[in-house]
Amino acid sequence: MQQIINFIIRNKNFLLYILLLIISLGFTIQSHSYHQSRFFNSSNWISGNIYNASHGVSSYFELQKENKALVDENKRLRSLLFNYDLEDTLKLDSIQRTYTITSAKIIKNSYADLRNYITINKGEKDSIKMDMGVITDHGILGIVENTSNRFASVQSILNEKSNINAKIKNTNHFGSLVWDAKNYNVVQLIDIPKLVPLLVGDTIVTGAMSSIFPENIPIGTIKKFDLDISENFYTIDITLFNDMTNIQNVYVVSNADKKEIQELETKTKADD
């Protein structure tokens, strides 16, 4: 306390000056409308910037929450899209849901090996099972190969063992999507006969011959194509829509009819 008193005594002239300056400024602002408006404009500018900075900080910490909400909304919309029946447009509530969607995040991704795998943060406790399809906002990513309680490994389409039914969009011409392990941005579509008209830039999507992926999930566009004269089939290079080096959020697709389809196919083969 004594130190404060000593400080005031030592600086009494300066403190008196500051006090008088504040009083005079107050009188000036109150007696002149121009100065008053300038003062309040300055105050509003300062407070506005403070609130803006505060909002920016709070918005930053809300990003994770907003991002999860967007992922959940995408999951809901994709579920509706996969199950939408164009011949029953007025009965969306009565749709029998063939496909269900589970959102997940990638925790490990490889794209430079011959057999690339992706690990996601959902597993058996989230109803993730082997042979479920995995997609992103831009297209297909791979197929679930193994699961644990909380995680799953996904065989990437960038895997020399990968083989997925695919077709040229808006046609019924389909083939097999494979990877030659040369470029992580390019996969190959094989078994397309030479009678099929092709154009560079044509879109490739998933076909209807798979019980793993819904039909018409985007894959990529034709980069170039070559005709194998001896086989009479094209080999087509497809530039992927997905940037396989930069993926975070994914969706796991489950087909409720898959088991029944597989059992029927197995029975049919056994009867031959």
* Span 195-215, pLDDT tens digits: 899 999 999 999 988 889 988
Between the alpha carbon of residue 189 and those of residues 85, 118, 138, the distances in Å are 28, 22, 18
Average pLDDT on 153-178 reads 94
Whether 6 is in a domain gets the answer no
Whether 119 is in a domain gets the answer yes
Does the pLDDT at position 20 exceed 50? yes
CB 138 within 8 A of CB 130: no
105: exposed, middle or buried (Cβ count in 10 Å: 0-12, 13-18, 19+)? middle
* Lowest mean pLDDT, pick from 30-39, 109-118, 214-223, 231-240: 30-39
Whether 202 is in a domain gets the answer yes
**Is the C-alpha dihedral spanning 125, 129, 133, 134 positive or negative?**
positive
The pLDDT value recorded for residue 168 is 94
Whether 20 is in a domain gets the answer no
Domain count, the chain: 1
| Six token digits for residue 104 | 């997940």
Does the pLDDT at position 95 exceed 70? no
The pLDDT value recorded for residue 46 is 47
What percent of the chain is predicted at pLDDT more than 90? 43
Whether 41 is in a domain gets the answer no
CATH number (domain holding residue 234): 2.40.10.340
